[in-house]
Amino acid sequence: MMRFVVLALAVLLAGCQARFLQDQAPSQLEHVKSALQVYADQMKQSAHKALTHLDGTEFADYKQFLGQSVDNLHGYLQGGFQAIGPVGGQVLEATKDTREKLAKDVEELRKKIEPMREELRQVLQKHFEEYRGELKPFIEEYLTKQQKFMEEMKTKLEPLVKSLKGKIEVNWEETKSKLMPILEAVREKVAEHIQALKTLLEPYIQEYRDQVEKGAQEFRQSVKSGELRKKMEELGTEVKPHFEAIFAAVQKAMSKA
């Protein structure tokens, strides 16, 4: 298992770094190892954090087993990172000539096809110009016909719109003449019901007013005659012993505390 992890990581690093692991292969290798180390640590933390969601569920018994599996895998990766330096260096050294030849071939191919690419661009541009030349008369004729059609429609619709505008004004007046009697009948019926309700409630309203006025007169009379003051003094005399008893009970409770 350990050898498989080491070899897989070595091949991965060799493929990923083939473009730029030439003159500074060791430093680039260390950089990739460091990045993979950080990634492995983050994956371990995320896995353990996800396993906390198993608490209190029917899969809670599997949490310890899965957590141990995550730790074991992280340990394999740690061992692989430690052993990847020599293996990765050997792989890079063994593929150095191939990588250099590949880079050289790519550069030569780029220089070779650059003129061809320019020729292709010119050919495509020429073809597009031909297509545009073929389509231009059709498009111009279509646009001209559409513009002419719109002008004709505008000319035909103008008297129709004017006629409709005049008819709408006349029709509105006719509609209003038929609608107003309906509204007037409804208004009269509503006013009739309101007046009937007012007539029905008027005695009760007047009685209420009389009761309010009588109460106000009696209150003013009691204030003026001193009767209200006398009643308030009698009420104070009646409730004073109750307040004194409450005050004494509170004082007694506070003294005991």
Sign of CA dihedral 68, 73, 76, 80: negative
What is the pTM assigned to this prediction?
0.29
150 and 178 in a common domain: no
Which spans in 95-226 are helix H? 96-225
176 and 165 in a common domain: no
61: three-class secondary structure by DSSP? coil
Q: What is the pLDDT of residue 90?
A: 66
148 and 166 in a common domain: yes
Query: Which amino acid is it at 128?
Result: F
> Is residue 91 domain-resident?
no
Query: Which amino acid is it at 184?
Result: E
Among the listed residues 37, 113, 34, the one whose alpha carbon sits nearest the alpha carbon of residue 78: 37
**Phi/psi class of residue 57: alpha, beta or left (left: φ > 0; alpha: ψ in -120 to 50)?**
beta
Distance, in Å, from the CA atom of 57 to the CA atom of 72, rounded to the nearest integer, reads 24
> Is residue 18 domain-resident?
no
Contacts of 41 (CB under 8 A, 6+ apart): 74
Distance, in Å, from the CA atom of 60 to the CA atom of 66, rounded to the nearest integer, reads 10
Structural contact between residues 104 and 23, judged by C-beta atoms closer than 8 angstroms? no
Sign of CA dihedral 122, 125, 129, 134: positive
Structural contact between residues 80 and 2, judged by C-beta atoms closer than 8 angstroms? yes
Q: What is the pLDDT of residue 143?
A: 92
Distance, in Å, from the CA atom of 165 to the CA atom of 148, rounded to the nearest integer, reads 26
Tokens of 121: 């661009």
231 and 179 in a common domain: yes
> Is residue 3 domain-resident?
no
147 and 122 in a common domain: yes
Distance, in Å, from the CA atom of 191 to the CA atom of 182, rounded to the nearest integer, reads 14
> Is residue 99 domain-resident?
no
Distance, in Å, from the CA atom of 145 to the CA atom of 139, rounded to the nearest integer, reads 10
What is the number of domains present in the chain? 3
Helices 2-16 and 25-51 pack at an angle, to 10 degrees, of 120
Tokens of 126: 């020429």
Q: pLDDT 10s digit of each residue in the chain, 257 long?
A: 434 333 444 444 444 444 444 444 445 556 666 777 777 788 778 777 777 776 776 666 666 767 777 777 777 676 666 665 565 566 667 777 887 888 888 888 888 888 888 888 898 899 999 998 889 999 999 999 999 999 999 898 988 888 888 888 888 888 888 899 999 999 999 999 999 998 998 888 888 888 888 888 877 777 777 776 777 777 778 877 877 777 777 777 777 65
Q: In which domain, by residue range, is 220 found?
A: 172-236
> Is residue 252 domain-resident?
no
204 and 179 in a common domain: yes
> Is residue 200 domain-resident?
yes
Query: Which amino acid is it at 123?
Result: V
What's the Rg (C-alpha) of the chain?
Answer: 51
> Is residue 111 domain-resident?
no
Q: What is the pLDDT of residue 89?
A: 63
Structural contact between residues 18 and 11, judged by C-beta atoms closer than 8 angstroms? no
Q: What is the pLDDT of residue 38?
A: 77
Other CB atoms within 10 A of residue 140 CB: 10
> Is residue 201 domain-resident?
yes
166 and 177 in a common domain: no
